[in-house]
Structure 1
C-alpha cells in the first residue's frame, strides 16, 4: 500500500484538518483579491476616470494573471514541490497587492493586478491538490467543500473592509489584502508541510525523514525505504502523452463549456455587482452591501452543494444549481430597489453560483481515468478562466453601448443556463450513475 492509499484509509487527524484550514486560508486570498477590485470599483473608476470597458479590462487583467499562474506555474509544483511554489506565489501576491495600493495610475495598477493574479493562480493550482492529498477518502469531499468555501469568506472580508472605506481611501482595501497575504506567507512558511505524495514520488534529499516526520504528526506509523512506492521523475500525465485528449474529446469539450459558462456567471456577479448597482442609483454603501450578500452566500454554497450531492448524482445536482442560479440572478437585479429583499436574494445567488463552482470540481474528475485526471482537470480549470476573463470585459463593452444592469444580468444568466445544457449532454459520458458519497464528492485533481 503506497502512502496515498494509507492516508486515504486512515482516520483524519487534527493535523490534517489544520492543513485543510491552511489551504482554506489561502483560498480566502483569492476571494479577497477578486472582490477588492469589485468593491472598490466605483471609487477606482471615479479617481482614474475610467469608462465601463476600461474598468472591465482592469478586472480582467487580474483574471488573466490567474490563468497564467495556474497553467504556467502549476507544472513547477511537480518539479520543486507544492510548498516552495506556494511560497513563491504568496510572495508575488504580496508584492502585487501592495503595488496596486500605491499605484499612481491605472496602467501601474493593472501591471500589479497582473502580478497578483499570477501569484493567486499559482496558489490555487497547488492548494486544492494539497487539501485533497492530505484528506482521507471518507472526508475528502467535506475537505474540498470547506476549501472552496474559503473564497466566499475572503470575499466577505473584502466587502467588510471596503464598506468601512466608503467615503475614505479605496487603497485601504488593497493594503489590507497585502497585509493578509504577507501574514499567509509567514504562517505557511512555518506550518505547511510538503506534500507526502510529492516526497514519495520525487524523492528529494532527506525525503524519508520528512515523510516520517509528517506521518508522525498525522498519528500514522513510520515507514522504511522499501515500503515506499516507486519514485519517478515523470508524472502519470506526462507518461500518458496527449492521446487521452483524442480519446476523451467529447466529454472534455463539454466539461470545458461547463467551466467556461459557470465561471462567466460567477465572475460577472462577483466583479460587477457593486459598480452596476451604484450606477443604477443605489448609494455606494448600499451597493457594497448587496455585493456583500453574494459573498456571504458563497461561504455556504459549496457545502450546500455537497449535501445535495449525497442524495443525487453530482451532475444532476449541478444542473439544478445552474438553472436556479440563472433564475435567481434575474430575480436579484429586479429586487435590489428593496434593499432587504435584494440582500436576501443576493445571499441565495451567492450560494447557488458558488455551489456551481464546487459542482464543476466534483463532476470533472470521474470523467477521466486516474493517470490523466490531473492533466484533464488542469486543462479544464485553465480553459474555464476564458469565461472568467471574458465576462468583466464583455459586460464593460455592453455597458458602454447602453445596456442596463437588468439586461447585463439577464445575459449572464443565459450563459449560465447554457452550462446546464452541456451537463445534460454530458450524461452518457458520466460514469457516476449512483448518488455521490463522501468518497466521490470530490477531489479536483
Structure 2
C-alpha cells in the first residue's frame, strides 16, 4: 500500500490559510511573552521609587522572573513531549494571564516577587508555541516563516514600550502589569479550535488523529493530501542517503525513534529523553546549544537592561553620587522605545542571511557584529552615540536569537523536540537571571567598563560555539 509522511503532506499542501491561523495564534503567545520580558525594563525603577527598594531588591525583581522562566521552560518541555503541545499552550497561558493580573494587586514587595515568579513559570512555556508552529511548516520555507514568526516578538517589545510610555504618564505601574497580561488572556477563547501537532501525534503512534489534523489542513488550504495512507516510519532512498552521509550520526534516523517514543511513554520518560539528548548522537549539538542559548539570553536581556541603566549610571557616576539621581522617566521610555525598533532590521537581516548562507554562518556573523557594536561602550559615550550603538547591537542580537530559535528545533527529532528546546531555553534563562547582576548591579556601582567587557566575552565565545555546531539544518527534513 502506498504511504506518505507528515513532511510529504505538508510539502504538497504548502503554507496556506491553515498555517496562517496557526501562525496568528502562536504569534500572539510570543507577543505576550515579549511584553512580560520587556516589562522588566520599567517595573524595577518604578517599584523602587514607590517602595524605596535597594539595588539588590530591584535586581531580584528581574532575576526572579527569569528563575521562573528557567523552571517553566524545562518543565513545559517535558509536559509537551509527554502530554502534547496543546496541553502546554493551555496551562502556560492560564498561569501567565491569571497571575499577571493578580500581580497588579500586590500589596507589598514580597507578594509581587512571589507572583512574578509564577508568571515567569508560565512565560517559560513560550518555546512550545514556536515548536508547535514549526511542526506545521513545510521544510522548503521553514527559515522564512520562522523569521516571520519571530516578528511577533518584536511587536510585543514595541507594544510594551509604547504602552509604558503612554500608560505611565497617566496611570500607575499596577495598570501596566494588568494591561501587559491582556494579550495572553485573549488566547483562551480560541484554544478550543487549536489543533494538536500532527508530528507529535505520529510520534505517539496516534496515526488516525494525525490524519484528521492533516485533513483539516487540506480542507483549509484547499489542496488534496497525497495518495495513500499516513505512515510515520517509511524507508526511502532519501533515508538511505541520510544514513550514509557524513553527519548521519548527528540526527537519529527514523527507525530508531520508535524505541525512543516507547521509552518516553514510560514512567521514566523524562530521564530517557535526557539520556537521548546527551547520547553520542546529539551530545555535541546539545552542549553547544546550551551555551549559545545561555549567551544569547544573557546578551539580549542585558542589552535591554543596559538601555534603561547606562544614561542614569553615567549621570550618577559623573556627579560622584552612588545612584541617588533617578532616571528621568521620559528618557527611559524614549530610549527603550527607540531600541525596540532595532528588532525590525534584526529580523530582516536574519531573514536574508538564513536562507542565503545557512543557520550557522548567520548566527556567528551576527554575534560577532553585536560584540563589535558593544565594544565602544566600555568607555562612557554621549547619549546619542550610546543609543545608536545599543540599537545596532540589539538588531544583531535579535537576529542571531531568531536564527537560534529556528535552528534548535530542527536539530532534535519530534519525540524529544520540546524537551530538548525546553532544557536549552531553561539554561538560557540562567543568563537572564545573571544579567541583571551585571547590567544593573555593576553599572550602579560605576563599573561600566567591566560590565561591558563581560558581555563582550560571552558574545565572542557564543560566536565560536556557533562555528563549532556539527550540522547545518538548512533544507533538511525534521524527524
- Smaller-chain TM-score range? 0.7 to 0.9
Aligned CA distance change for structure 1 residues 315 and 192 (closer, same or farther; 3 Å)? same
1:205-236: CA deviations, max 9, x gaps?
96654553343223343699954547979638
Counterpart in 2 of 1:284? 329
Deviation at 1:195, TM superposition (A): 1.7
* Equivalent residues of 2:81, 2:417 under 8 A apart: no
TM-score of the pair, normalised by structure 2: 0.80
* Equivalent residues of 1:208, 1:225 under 8 A apart: no
Counterpart in 2 of 1:384? 428
Residue 347 (1) aligns with residue 391 (2):
yes
Counterpart in 1 of 2:134? 132
Which has the higher mean CA deviation after the structures are superposed, 155-164 or 50-59?
50-59
Aligned CA distance change for structure 1 residues 165 and 405 (closer, same or farther; 3 Å)? farther
Residue 25 (1) aligns with residue 37 (2):
no
CA distance in 1, matches of 2:223, 2:74: 34
Residue 312 (1) aligns with residue 357 (2):
yes
1:414 to 454, 457, 472: 457
* Equivalent residues of 1:64, 1:117 under 8 A apart: yes
Q: Secondary structure at the match of 1:194?
A: coil
CA distance in 2, matches of 1:237, 1:334: 54
Residue 242 (1) aligns with residue 275 (2):
yes
1:356 to 400, 416, 419: 400
Aligned CA distance change for structure 1 residues 75 and 156 (closer, same or farther; 3 Å)? same
1:59 to 58, 62, 70: 62
Which has the higher mean CA deviation after the structures are superposed, 269-278 or 234-243?
234-243
Counterpart in 2 of 1:192? 194
Deviation at 1:189, TM superposition (A): 1.7
- RMSD (Å) for aligned C-alpha atoms: 3.2
Aligned CA distance change for structure 1 residues 376 and 49 (closer, same or farther; 3 Å)? same
Aligned CA distance change for structure 1 residues 249 and 403 (closer, same or farther; 3 Å)? farther
Deviation at 1:82, TM superposition (A): 1.5
CA distance in 2, matches of 1:241, 1:263: 22
* Equivalent residues of 2:13, 2:221 under 8 A apart: no
Which has the higher mean CA deviation after the structures are superposed, 192-201 or 233-242?
233-242
* Equivalent residues of 2:72, 2:122 under 8 A apart: yes
Counterpart in 2 of 1:268? 302
CA distance in 1, matches of 2:389, 2:442: 25
Structure 1 residue runs without a partner (length 5+): none
Which has the higher mean CA deviation after the structures are superposed, 363-372 or 165-174?
363-372
Deviation at 1:325, TM superposition (A): 0.7
Deviation at 1:271, TM superposition (A): 3.4
* Equivalent residues of 2:13, 2:224 under 8 A apart: no
1:369-401: CA deviations, max 9, x gaps?
77766554443222222212211134444345x
Residue 102 (1) aligns with residue 96 (2):
no
* Equivalent residues of 1:193, 1:214 under 8 A apart: no
Deviation at 1:62, TM superposition (A): 1.0
Residue 112 (1) aligns with residue 115 (2):
yes
Tell me how many residue pairs correspond in the alignment: 432
CA distance in 2, matches of 1:25, 1:215: 24
* Equivalent residues of 1:318, 1:359 under 8 A apart: yes
Deviation at 1:272, TM superposition (A): 4.5
Counterpart in 2 of 1:177? 180
TM-score of the pair, normalised by structure 1: 0.85
CA distance in 2, matches of 1:363, 1:213: 28
Deviation at 1:361, TM superposition (A): 2.9
* Equivalent residues of 2:69, 2:122 under 8 A apart: yes
Deviation at 1:237, TM superposition (A): 8.1
1:162-193: CA deviations, max 9, x gaps?
1113444122211111222211222x325432
Larger Rg: 2
Aligned CA distance change for structure 1 residues 237 and 320 (closer, same or farther; 3 Å)? farther
CA distance in 2, matches of 1:343, 1:32: 21
CA distance in 2, matches of 1:61, 1:241: 26
Deviation at 1:311, TM superposition (A): 2.8
Counterpart in 2 of 1:431? 471
Which has the higher mean CA deviation after the structures are superposed, 344-353 or 357-366?
357-366
* Equivalent residues of 1:268, 1:391 under 8 A apart: yes
Aligned CA distance change for structure 1 residues 329 and 75 (closer, same or farther; 3 Å)? same
CA distance in 2, matches of 1:262, 1:52: 24
CA distance in 1, matches of 2:42, 2:274: 44
